[in-house]
Structure 1
Amino acid sequence: MRHNGTVMLPQAFARMGSLEKRLEDLDLMGVDVQVVSPSPHLYAYWADAALASELVEAVNGAAAVLVKQAPTRLSALGIVSMQHPELAAEQIVTAKAAGLKGIEISASVGELELSDPGFDPVWQAAEAAGMPIFIHPLGTSLVTAVLRPRP
Protein backbone atom coordinates (compact mmCIF):
# COMPACT_ATOMS: atom_id res chain seq x y z
CA MET A 1 0.00 0.00 0.00
CA ARG A 2 1.40 3.38 -0.97
CA HIS A 3 0.58 6.56 0.90
CA ASN A 4 -0.32 9.27 -1.60
CA GLY A 5 0.24 12.14 0.82
CA THR A 6 -3.46 12.61 1.49
CA VAL A 7 -5.58 9.50 1.88
CA MET A 8 -4.83 5.80 1.65
CA LEU A 9 -8.15 4.55 2.99
CA PRO A 10 -9.67 3.39 -0.33
CA GLN A 11 -6.84 0.88 -0.83
CA ALA A 12 -7.02 -0.24 2.78
CA PHE A 13 -10.80 -0.65 2.71
CA ALA A 14 -10.60 -2.67 -0.51
CA ARG A 15 -8.28 -5.14 1.22
CA MET A 16 -10.19 -5.18 4.51
CA GLY A 17 -13.49 -5.78 2.71
CA SER A 18 -12.32 -9.02 1.13
CA LEU A 19 -11.90 -12.08 3.32
CA GLU A 20 -9.66 -13.70 0.72
CA LYS A 21 -7.36 -10.66 0.60
CA ARG A 22 -7.38 -10.36 4.38
CA LEU A 23 -6.30 -13.97 4.80
CA GLU A 24 -3.57 -13.43 2.18
CA ASP A 25 -2.35 -10.40 4.15
CA LEU A 26 -2.35 -12.38 7.39
CA ASP A 27 -0.22 -15.05 5.70
CA LEU A 28 2.20 -12.41 4.37
CA MET A 29 2.51 -10.89 7.85
CA GLY A 30 2.94 -14.26 9.55
CA VAL A 31 -0.23 -13.81 11.61
CA ASP A 32 -1.96 -17.05 12.56
CA VAL A 33 -5.16 -15.61 14.08
CA GLN A 34 -6.63 -12.12 13.99
CA VAL A 35 -9.31 -10.67 16.26
CA VAL A 36 -11.58 -8.41 14.22
CA SER A 37 -13.57 -5.66 15.87
CA PRO A 38 -16.29 -3.22 14.86
CA SER A 39 -15.63 0.42 14.13
CA PRO A 40 -16.38 2.62 17.16
CA HIS A 41 -18.72 4.61 14.94
CA LEU A 42 -21.13 1.67 15.07
CA TYR A 43 -21.80 1.90 18.82
CA ALA A 44 -24.85 4.17 18.23
CA TYR A 45 -25.26 5.04 21.90
CA TRP A 46 -27.81 7.64 20.83
CA ALA A 47 -30.30 5.02 19.59
CA ASP A 48 -33.50 4.03 21.37
CA ALA A 49 -33.78 0.40 22.52
CA ALA A 50 -35.54 -0.89 19.39
CA LEU A 51 -33.10 0.63 16.92
CA ALA A 52 -30.13 -0.21 19.15
CA SER A 53 -31.22 -3.87 19.16
CA GLU A 54 -31.39 -3.93 15.37
CA LEU A 55 -27.99 -2.31 14.99
CA VAL A 56 -26.30 -4.65 17.46
CA GLU A 57 -27.91 -7.68 15.80
CA ALA A 58 -26.67 -6.54 12.39
CA VAL A 59 -23.11 -5.78 13.51
CA ASN A 60 -22.69 -8.85 15.69
CA GLY A 61 -24.40 -11.07 13.14
CA ALA A 62 -22.02 -9.91 10.41
CA ALA A 63 -19.03 -10.54 12.68
CA ALA A 64 -20.28 -14.05 13.49
CA VAL A 65 -20.79 -14.86 9.79
CA LEU A 66 -17.28 -13.63 8.97
CA VAL A 67 -15.67 -15.72 11.69
CA LYS A 68 -17.56 -18.85 10.59
CA GLN A 69 -15.96 -18.49 7.14
CA ALA A 70 -12.45 -18.75 8.62
CA PRO A 71 -12.84 -20.10 12.16
CA THR A 72 -9.21 -21.11 12.56
CA ARG A 73 -7.95 -17.70 11.41
CA LEU A 74 -10.44 -15.17 12.78
CA SER A 75 -12.09 -14.34 16.07
CA ALA A 76 -14.35 -11.35 16.64
CA LEU A 77 -15.53 -8.84 19.18
CA GLY A 78 -19.11 -7.60 19.19
CA ILE A 79 -20.85 -4.48 20.43
CA VAL A 80 -23.68 -3.93 22.91
CA SER A 81 -26.19 -1.15 23.59
CA MET A 82 -24.47 0.40 26.61
CA GLN A 83 -27.08 3.17 26.80
CA HIS A 84 -29.57 0.42 27.74
CA PRO A 85 -27.64 -1.64 30.34
CA GLU A 86 -30.24 -4.40 30.81
CA LEU A 87 -30.44 -4.87 27.04
CA ALA A 88 -26.63 -4.80 26.82
CA ALA A 89 -26.46 -7.58 29.41
CA GLU A 90 -28.74 -9.73 27.25
CA GLN A 91 -26.71 -8.90 24.14
CA ILE A 92 -23.54 -10.17 25.82
CA VAL A 93 -25.15 -13.59 26.26
CA THR A 94 -26.34 -13.56 22.64
CA ALA A 95 -22.90 -12.52 21.37
CA LYS A 96 -21.24 -15.39 23.23
CA ALA A 97 -23.80 -17.86 21.84
CA ALA A 98 -23.00 -16.57 18.33
CA GLY A 99 -19.33 -17.39 18.85
CA LEU A 100 -17.98 -13.90 19.48
CA LYS A 101 -15.05 -13.79 21.90
CA GLY A 102 -15.63 -10.45 23.64
CA ILE A 103 -17.29 -7.05 23.55
CA GLU A 104 -15.97 -3.66 22.45
CA ILE A 105 -17.34 -0.50 24.09
CA SER A 106 -16.48 3.18 24.29
CA ALA A 107 -14.71 4.74 27.27
CA SER A 108 -17.89 6.65 28.10
CA VAL A 109 -21.57 6.50 27.25
CA GLY A 110 -22.95 9.97 26.71
CA GLU A 111 -22.18 11.90 29.87
CA LEU A 112 -21.80 8.75 31.98
CA GLU A 113 -18.51 7.24 33.05
CA LEU A 114 -18.22 3.47 32.92
CA SER A 115 -17.99 3.38 36.73
CA ASP A 116 -21.63 4.51 36.97
CA PRO A 117 -23.59 1.90 38.97
CA GLY A 118 -26.19 1.81 36.20
CA PHE A 119 -23.74 -0.27 34.17
CA ASP A 120 -23.45 -2.98 36.83
CA PRO A 121 -25.73 -5.37 34.87
CA VAL A 122 -23.29 -5.18 31.96
CA TRP A 123 -20.24 -6.02 34.07
CA GLN A 124 -22.13 -8.83 35.83
CA ALA A 125 -23.26 -10.35 32.52
CA ALA A 126 -19.77 -10.14 31.04
CA GLU A 127 -18.24 -11.79 34.07
CA ALA A 128 -20.86 -14.55 34.14
CA ALA A 129 -20.39 -15.22 30.41
CA GLY A 130 -16.59 -15.07 30.60
CA MET A 131 -16.62 -12.35 27.95
CA PRO A 132 -13.74 -9.86 28.06
CA ILE A 133 -14.56 -6.21 27.38
CA PHE A 134 -12.26 -4.06 25.27
CA ILE A 135 -12.67 -0.36 26.10
CA HIS A 136 -11.88 1.64 22.97
CA PRO A 137 -10.23 5.01 23.72
CA LEU A 138 -12.26 6.93 21.11
CA GLY A 139 -14.03 9.76 22.89
CA THR A 140 -11.56 10.07 25.75
CA SER A 141 -9.49 13.11 26.54
CA LEU A 142 -6.50 11.14 25.28
CA VAL A 143 -7.83 11.37 21.72
CA THR A 144 -8.24 15.14 22.06
CA ALA A 145 -4.72 15.48 23.47
CA VAL A 146 -3.16 13.38 20.73
CA LEU A 147 -4.95 15.24 17.94
CA ARG A 148 -4.31 18.72 19.35
CA PRO A 149 -2.10 20.82 17.05
CA ARG A 150 1.42 21.23 18.38
CA PRO A 151 3.47 24.45 18.11
Structure 2
Amino acid sequence: MSYLRIATEEAYGPAELFDLYRELLPDTDDIGFRSLMGHYLTSDADRPRFVRSRLQDLGETRLSEMDATGIHHAVLALTSPGTQVLEDKHAREMATLANERIAEAVRKYPSRFSGLAAVGFEDIPSAVDELERAVTKLGLKGLICNSHIKGHYLDEPRFRPLLEAAEALDVPVYLHPNTPPNDMIRPMYEAGIDGAIFGFGVETATHLLRIITSGVFDRFPRLKLVVGHLGEALPYWFYRLDYMHAGQVASKRYEAIKPLELKVSEYFRRNIWLTTSGMPWAPTIMYAREVVGPDRVMYAMDYPYEYVPEEVRMQDELPLNPEELKEFFQDNAIRVFGLDEAVLKGQESGR
Protein backbone atom coordinates (compact mmCIF):
# COMPACT_ATOMS: atom_id res chain seq x y z
CA MET A 1 0.00 0.00 0.00
CA SER A 2 1.06 3.62 -0.42
CA TYR A 3 0.21 4.26 3.24
CA LEU A 4 0.68 2.65 6.64
CA ARG A 5 -2.43 1.48 8.46
CA ILE A 6 -2.21 2.92 11.98
CA ALA A 7 -4.83 1.56 14.39
CA THR A 8 -5.49 4.15 17.08
CA GLU A 9 -7.73 2.45 19.69
CA GLU A 10 -6.09 -0.85 20.60
CA ALA A 11 -6.51 -2.27 24.11
CA TYR A 12 -4.07 -3.84 26.56
CA GLY A 13 -4.62 -5.21 30.06
CA PRO A 14 -2.02 -6.71 32.40
CA ALA A 15 -2.85 -9.93 34.23
CA GLU A 16 -2.36 -8.14 37.55
CA LEU A 17 -5.21 -5.76 36.71
CA PHE A 18 -7.54 -8.64 35.94
CA ASP A 19 -6.64 -10.26 39.26
CA LEU A 20 -7.77 -7.08 41.02
CA TYR A 21 -10.96 -7.02 38.98
CA ARG A 22 -11.73 -10.60 40.02
CA GLU A 23 -11.30 -9.63 43.66
CA LEU A 24 -13.76 -6.76 43.20
CA LEU A 25 -16.47 -8.68 41.37
CA PRO A 26 -18.10 -10.61 44.26
CA ASP A 27 -18.82 -7.52 46.37
CA THR A 28 -19.16 -4.64 43.90
CA ASP A 29 -22.39 -2.65 43.62
CA ASP A 30 -21.25 -1.23 40.25
CA ILE A 31 -23.77 -2.72 37.83
CA GLY A 32 -21.77 -1.83 34.74
CA PHE A 33 -18.49 -3.25 36.03
CA ARG A 34 -20.24 -6.44 37.06
CA SER A 35 -21.89 -6.69 33.64
CA LEU A 36 -18.73 -5.96 31.63
CA MET A 37 -15.93 -7.62 33.56
CA GLY A 38 -18.14 -10.33 34.97
CA HIS A 39 -18.63 -11.45 31.38
CA TYR A 40 -15.13 -11.03 30.01
CA LEU A 41 -13.32 -12.52 33.02
CA THR A 42 -15.58 -15.46 33.82
CA SER A 43 -17.33 -16.60 30.65
CA ASP A 44 -15.99 -19.61 28.75
CA ALA A 45 -17.64 -18.54 25.48
CA ASP A 46 -15.30 -18.13 22.51
CA ARG A 47 -15.39 -14.32 22.33
CA PRO A 48 -14.51 -13.52 25.99
CA ARG A 49 -11.81 -16.20 25.97
CA PHE A 50 -10.30 -14.64 22.84
CA VAL A 51 -10.47 -11.14 24.31
CA ARG A 52 -8.96 -12.21 27.65
CA SER A 53 -5.95 -13.84 26.06
CA ARG A 54 -5.30 -11.10 23.48
CA LEU A 55 -5.60 -8.22 25.93
CA GLN A 56 -2.59 -9.51 27.86
CA ASP A 57 -0.34 -10.02 24.83
CA LEU A 58 2.16 -7.41 23.70
CA GLY A 59 4.24 -9.66 21.48
CA GLU A 60 4.04 -12.34 18.83
CA THR A 61 0.31 -13.10 18.96
CA ARG A 62 -0.75 -9.46 18.67
CA LEU A 63 1.84 -8.76 15.99
CA SER A 64 0.88 -11.80 13.93
CA GLU A 65 -2.77 -10.76 13.99
CA MET A 66 -1.84 -7.22 13.04
CA ASP A 67 0.15 -8.67 10.13
CA ALA A 68 -2.78 -10.84 9.09
CA THR A 69 -4.99 -7.78 8.71
CA GLY A 70 -2.36 -5.43 7.30
CA ILE A 71 -2.12 -3.23 10.41
CA HIS A 72 1.35 -1.74 10.56
CA HIS A 73 1.17 0.16 13.83
CA ALA A 74 -1.05 0.11 16.93
CA VAL A 75 -1.59 2.84 19.52
CA LEU A 76 -1.96 0.86 22.75
CA ALA A 77 -3.96 1.93 25.80
CA LEU A 78 -5.15 0.39 29.05
CA THR A 79 -8.46 -1.38 28.52
CA SER A 80 -11.74 -0.12 29.96
CA PRO A 81 -12.60 0.38 32.79
CA GLY A 82 -8.89 0.80 33.44
CA THR A 83 -7.92 2.21 36.81
CA GLN A 84 -11.25 3.92 37.27
CA VAL A 85 -13.00 1.28 39.36
CA LEU A 86 -10.02 0.78 41.71
CA GLU A 87 -9.22 2.36 45.04
CA ASP A 88 -6.62 5.10 44.84
CA LYS A 89 -3.55 3.07 45.87
CA HIS A 90 -4.32 0.24 43.46
CA ALA A 91 -5.23 2.72 40.71
CA ARG A 92 -1.84 4.42 40.95
CA GLU A 93 0.00 1.12 41.05
CA MET A 94 -1.84 -0.31 38.05
CA ALA A 95 -1.34 2.88 36.03
CA THR A 96 2.40 2.75 36.66
CA LEU A 97 2.54 -0.95 35.83
CA ALA A 98 0.57 -0.56 32.59
CA ASN A 99 2.66 2.42 31.50
CA GLU A 100 5.91 0.54 32.10
CA ARG A 101 4.67 -2.53 30.21
CA ILE A 102 3.45 -0.52 27.23
CA ALA A 103 6.67 1.50 27.15
CA GLU A 104 8.68 -1.72 27.20
CA ALA A 105 6.70 -3.03 24.21
CA VAL A 106 7.29 0.25 22.37
CA ARG A 107 11.03 0.02 22.99
CA LYS A 108 11.06 -3.55 21.72
CA TYR A 109 8.90 -2.88 18.64
CA PRO A 110 9.18 0.86 17.94
CA SER A 111 7.80 0.69 14.40
CA ARG A 112 4.82 -1.40 15.50
CA PHE A 113 3.64 0.11 18.79
CA SER A 114 3.14 3.41 20.53
CA GLY A 115 1.10 3.96 23.65
CA LEU A 116 -1.04 6.17 25.85
CA ALA A 117 -0.55 6.73 29.56
CA ALA A 118 -2.90 5.58 32.29
CA VAL A 119 -3.21 7.44 35.60
CA GLY A 120 -5.09 7.04 38.87
CA PHE A 121 -7.73 9.76 38.52
CA GLU A 122 -8.67 10.16 42.18
CA ASP A 123 -5.30 11.56 43.27
CA ILE A 124 -4.86 14.43 40.83
CA PRO A 125 -1.36 15.61 41.85
CA SER A 126 -0.14 12.02 41.48
CA ALA A 127 -2.00 11.70 38.17
CA VAL A 128 -0.29 14.83 36.81
CA ASP A 129 3.10 13.52 37.91
CA GLU A 130 2.48 10.14 36.28
CA LEU A 131 1.28 11.68 33.02
CA GLU A 132 4.36 13.90 32.86
CA ARG A 133 6.64 10.93 33.64
CA ALA A 134 4.95 8.71 31.08
CA VAL A 135 5.23 11.32 28.33
CA THR A 136 8.65 12.82 29.06
CA LYS A 137 10.46 9.73 30.42
CA LEU A 138 8.67 6.76 28.85
CA GLY A 139 7.78 8.36 25.52
CA LEU A 140 4.04 7.70 25.67
CA LYS A 141 1.84 9.79 23.40
CA GLY A 142 -1.24 10.83 25.36
CA LEU A 143 -3.63 10.05 28.19
CA ILE A 144 -6.28 7.33 28.20
CA CYS A 145 -9.46 8.13 30.12
CA ASN A 146 -11.95 5.26 30.20
CA SER A 147 -14.78 7.72 30.63
CA HIS A 148 -16.45 8.24 34.01
CA ILE A 149 -14.47 7.93 37.22
CA LYS A 150 -16.96 6.26 39.59
CA GLY A 151 -19.69 8.51 38.22
CA HIS A 152 -17.51 11.63 37.96
CA TYR A 153 -16.53 13.43 34.76
CA LEU A 154 -13.58 15.39 33.44
CA ASP A 155 -15.53 18.66 33.32
CA GLU A 156 -15.46 18.78 37.14
CA PRO A 157 -13.04 21.43 38.48
CA ARG A 158 -10.87 18.93 40.36
CA PHE A 159 -9.65 17.45 37.06
CA ARG A 160 -8.47 20.78 35.64
CA PRO A 161 -4.79 20.31 36.61
CA LEU A 162 -4.70 17.05 34.65
CA LEU A 163 -6.22 18.65 31.55
CA GLU A 164 -3.86 21.59 31.94
CA ALA A 165 -0.94 19.15 32.01
CA ALA A 166 -2.15 17.37 28.85
CA GLU A 167 -2.44 20.70 27.07
CA ALA A 168 1.00 21.83 28.25
CA LEU A 169 2.57 18.53 27.14
CA ASP A 170 0.73 18.85 23.80
CA VAL A 171 -0.62 15.31 23.99
CA PRO A 172 -4.22 14.20 23.37
CA VAL A 173 -6.69 12.78 25.85
CA TYR A 174 -8.38 9.68 24.45
CA LEU A 175 -11.92 9.47 25.82
CA HIS A 176 -12.74 5.77 25.69
CA PRO A 177 -16.12 4.21 26.55
CA ASN A 178 -17.09 2.66 29.84
CA THR A 179 -20.34 1.10 30.98
CA PRO A 180 -22.70 3.74 32.40
CA PRO A 181 -22.69 4.44 36.13
CA ASN A 182 -25.53 3.19 38.28
CA ASP A 183 -27.49 6.45 38.01
CA MET A 184 -27.74 5.89 34.24
CA ILE A 185 -27.50 2.18 33.55
CA ARG A 186 -30.58 0.44 34.92
CA PRO A 187 -33.01 0.71 31.97
CA MET A 188 -30.25 -0.31 29.56
CA TYR A 189 -29.03 -3.18 31.74
CA GLU A 190 -32.57 -4.57 32.08
CA ALA A 191 -32.82 -4.62 28.27
CA GLY A 192 -29.33 -6.05 27.72
CA ILE A 193 -28.12 -2.95 25.88
CA ASP A 194 -25.78 -1.47 28.50
CA GLY A 195 -22.51 -2.41 26.76
CA ALA A 196 -20.99 -1.87 23.34
CA ILE A 197 -24.31 -2.23 21.53
CA PHE A 198 -25.60 1.08 22.97
CA GLY A 199 -24.74 1.91 26.58
CA PHE A 200 -21.08 2.68 25.90
CA GLY A 201 -22.04 5.28 23.32
CA VAL A 202 -24.70 6.93 25.49
CA GLU A 203 -22.34 7.26 28.45
CA THR A 204 -19.33 8.48 26.49
CA ALA A 205 -21.37 10.93 24.40
CA THR A 206 -22.74 12.34 27.64
CA HIS A 207 -19.21 12.74 29.00
CA LEU A 208 -18.00 14.46 25.83
CA LEU A 209 -20.98 16.80 25.72
CA ARG A 210 -20.42 17.74 29.37
CA ILE A 211 -16.81 18.59 28.54
CA ILE A 212 -17.92 20.85 25.69
CA THR A 213 -20.87 22.62 27.34
CA SER A 214 -19.00 23.23 30.59
CA GLY A 215 -16.45 25.36 28.74
CA VAL A 216 -13.44 23.06 29.13
CA PHE A 217 -12.22 23.89 25.62
CA ASP A 218 -12.59 27.63 26.24
CA ARG A 219 -10.45 27.21 29.35
CA PHE A 220 -7.95 24.97 27.52
CA PRO A 221 -8.18 26.02 23.86
CA ARG A 222 -5.20 23.90 22.76
CA LEU A 223 -6.42 20.73 24.48
CA LYS A 224 -6.71 17.79 22.07
CA LEU A 225 -9.34 15.13 22.63
CA VAL A 226 -9.84 11.91 20.65
CA VAL A 227 -13.04 9.89 20.79
CA GLY A 228 -13.85 6.60 19.09
CA HIS A 229 -16.88 5.16 17.33
CA LEU A 230 -17.06 8.23 15.09
CA GLY A 231 -17.96 10.56 17.95
CA GLU A 232 -20.55 8.35 19.68
CA ALA A 233 -23.30 9.65 17.33
CA LEU A 234 -22.90 13.32 18.34
CA PRO A 235 -22.01 14.45 14.77
CA TYR A 236 -25.55 13.49 13.74
CA TRP A 237 -26.87 15.91 16.35
CA PHE A 238 -24.82 18.98 15.37
CA TYR A 239 -27.71 21.15 14.17
CA ARG A 240 -29.87 20.28 17.16
CA LEU A 241 -27.04 20.67 19.67
CA ASP A 242 -26.14 24.12 18.34
CA TYR A 243 -29.76 25.25 18.16
CA MET A 244 -30.82 23.95 21.57
CA HIS A 245 -27.66 25.08 23.33
CA ALA A 246 -28.19 28.63 22.06
CA GLY A 247 -31.78 28.49 23.29
CA GLN A 248 -30.73 27.28 26.72
CA VAL A 249 -28.13 30.04 27.03
CA ALA A 250 -30.76 32.62 26.13
CA SER A 251 -33.36 31.23 28.53
CA LYS A 252 -30.90 30.85 31.43
CA ARG A 253 -32.78 27.69 32.33
CA TYR A 254 -29.78 25.78 33.70
CA GLU A 255 -27.05 27.10 35.97
CA ALA A 256 -24.59 24.72 34.24
CA ILE A 257 -25.25 26.10 30.73
CA LYS A 258 -23.23 29.24 30.05
CA PRO A 259 -22.26 31.05 26.83
CA LEU A 260 -19.38 29.47 24.93
CA GLU A 261 -16.84 31.04 22.61
CA LEU A 262 -17.87 28.68 19.77
CA LYS A 263 -20.89 26.66 18.79
CA VAL A 264 -20.98 23.13 20.21
CA SER A 265 -20.29 21.64 16.78
CA GLU A 266 -17.32 23.93 16.16
CA TYR A 267 -15.27 22.36 18.96
CA PHE A 268 -15.27 19.16 16.92
CA ARG A 269 -13.40 21.07 14.21
CA ARG A 270 -10.93 22.67 16.63
CA ASN A 271 -10.30 20.35 19.59
CA ILE A 272 -11.74 16.92 18.81
CA TRP A 273 -10.71 14.04 16.54
CA LEU A 274 -12.78 10.94 15.75
CA THR A 275 -11.69 7.37 15.14
CA THR A 276 -13.58 4.62 13.34
CA SER A 277 -13.22 1.97 16.06
CA GLY A 278 -16.11 -0.46 15.68
CA MET A 279 -17.69 1.72 12.98
CA PRO A 280 -16.30 0.58 9.62
CA TRP A 281 -19.43 1.35 7.58
CA ALA A 282 -18.64 3.68 4.66
CA PRO A 283 -21.77 5.91 4.88
CA THR A 284 -21.08 6.84 8.49
CA ILE A 285 -17.37 7.43 7.88
CA MET A 286 -18.05 9.63 4.87
CA TYR A 287 -20.66 11.62 6.78
CA ALA A 288 -18.25 12.20 9.67
CA ARG A 289 -15.57 13.36 7.24
CA GLU A 290 -18.04 15.80 5.70
CA VAL A 291 -19.22 17.43 8.94
CA VAL A 292 -16.01 17.50 11.02
CA GLY A 293 -13.43 17.55 8.22
CA PRO A 294 -11.23 14.84 6.69
CA ASP A 295 -8.31 15.87 8.90
CA ARG A 296 -10.41 14.95 11.97
CA VAL A 297 -11.24 11.30 11.17
CA MET A 298 -8.75 8.44 11.47
CA TYR A 299 -8.67 4.69 11.45
CA ALA A 300 -8.97 2.38 14.48
CA MET A 301 -9.76 -1.32 14.83
CA ASP A 302 -10.60 -1.65 18.58
CA TYR A 303 -8.54 -4.83 18.96
CA PRO A 304 -9.12 -7.29 20.53
CA TYR A 305 -12.75 -6.46 21.21
CA GLU A 306 -13.22 -5.98 17.49
CA TYR A 307 -11.01 -8.20 15.36
CA VAL A 308 -12.70 -8.57 12.02
CA PRO A 309 -10.18 -8.65 9.14
CA GLU A 310 -12.96 -7.92 6.66
CA GLU A 311 -13.42 -4.49 8.25
CA VAL A 312 -9.94 -3.43 7.13
CA ARG A 313 -10.82 -4.21 3.51
CA MET A 314 -14.10 -2.30 3.91
CA GLN A 315 -12.16 0.82 4.88
CA ASP A 316 -9.51 0.31 2.21
CA GLU A 317 -12.42 0.50 -0.25
CA LEU A 318 -13.81 3.80 0.99
CA PRO A 319 -14.57 6.13 -1.93
CA LEU A 320 -11.38 8.10 -1.39
CA ASN A 321 -8.39 8.80 -3.60
CA PRO A 322 -4.93 7.49 -2.57
CA GLU A 323 -3.92 10.72 -0.85
CA GLU A 324 -7.17 10.81 1.12
CA LEU A 325 -6.70 7.17 2.19
CA LYS A 326 -3.15 7.98 3.29
CA GLU A 327 -4.46 10.86 5.41
CA PHE A 328 -7.19 8.64 6.91
CA PHE A 329 -5.01 5.62 7.72
CA GLN A 330 -1.69 7.31 8.45
CA ASP A 331 -1.19 11.06 8.42
CA ASN A 332 -3.93 12.14 10.82
CA ALA A 333 -2.68 9.71 13.47
CA ILE A 334 0.91 10.90 13.02
CA ARG A 335 -0.18 14.50 13.57
CA VAL A 336 -2.54 13.93 16.50
CA PHE A 337 -0.36 11.53 18.48
CA GLY A 338 2.97 13.07 17.52
CA LEU A 339 4.32 9.87 15.99
CA ASP A 340 7.72 9.78 14.35
CA GLU A 341 7.21 8.90 10.69
CA ALA A 342 10.84 7.87 10.29
CA VAL A 343 10.46 5.34 13.13
CA LEU A 344 7.20 4.04 11.67
CA LYS A 345 8.90 3.44 8.34
CA GLY A 346 12.21 2.20 9.76
CA GLN A 347 13.90 -1.08 8.96
CA GLU A 348 13.04 -2.56 12.36
CA SER A 349 10.47 -5.22 11.55
CA GLY A 350 8.95 -5.67 15.00
CA ARG A 351 9.40 -9.46 14.84
The TM-score bracket by the shorter chain reads: 0.7 to 0.9
TM-score, length basis structure 1: 0.80
Q: Among 116, 126, 130, which residue is 1:87 paired with?
A: 126
Could you say which residue in structure 2 is the equivalent of 1:40? Answer: 80
| Alignment deviations for residues 16-55 of structure 1 (CA, whole Å, 9 cap, x no partner) | 525112212111111111111112243145423x443322
CA contact (8 A) 1:45 1:83 kept: no
Distance 1:90 1:18 in 2: 25
Q: How does 1:58-73 map to 2 (within 5 A)?
A: 58-73=97-112
1:19–1:109: structure 2 CA closer, same or farther, 3 Å change rule?
same
TM-score, length basis structure 2: 0.37
Q: Secondary structure at the match of 1:75?
A: strand
| Alignment deviations for residues 92-133 of structure 1 (CA, whole Å, 9 cap, x no partner) | 101102011111113222232211111110000001111211
In structure 1, runs of 5+ residues without a counterpart are none
Q: Quick check: which one's strand share is greater? A: 1
Distance 2:52 2:152 in 1: 33
Letter in 2 for 1:66: A
1:24–1:7: structure 2 CA closer, same or farther, 3 Å change rule?
closer
Q: Among 95, 116, 120, which residue is 1:77 paired with?
A: 116
Tell me which structure has the larger Cα radius of gyration.
2
1:108–1:41: structure 2 CA closer, same or farther, 3 Å change rule?
closer
Q: Does 1:20 align with 2:89?
A: no
Using the TM superposition, name which of 98-107 and 122-131 deviates more: 98-107
Could you say which residue in structure 1 is the equivalent of 2:166? Answer: 126
Distance 2:180 2:157 in 1: 20
Could you say which residue in structure 1 is the equivalent of 2:143? Answer: 103
Letter in 2 for 1:91: E
Distance 2:90 2:53 in 1: 29
Q: How many residues align?
A: 144
Q: Does 1:138 align with 2:178?
A: yes
In the TM superposition, what is the alpha-carbon distance from 1:84 to its structure 2 partner?
A: 1.2
1:24–1:104: structure 2 CA closer, same or farther, 3 Å change rule?
same
1:11–1:149: structure 2 CA closer, same or farther, 3 Å change rule?
closer
Could you say which residue in structure 2 is the equivalent of 1:57? Answer: 96
Distance 1:51 1:11 in 2: 26
Query: How large is the Cα RMSD of the aligned pairs?
Result: 2.5
In structure 2, runs of 5+ residues without a counterpart are 1-43, 194-351
CA contact (8 A) 1:106 1:138 kept: yes
Work out the percentage of aligned pairs sharing the same amino acid: 24
Using the TM superposition, name which of 109-118 and 56-65 deviates more: 109-118
In the TM superposition, what is the alpha-carbon distance from 1:15 to its structure 2 partner?
A: 4.8
Distance 2:147 2:58 in 1: 30
Q: Secondary structure at the match of 1:35?
A: strand
CA contact (8 A) 1:15 1:22 kept: yes
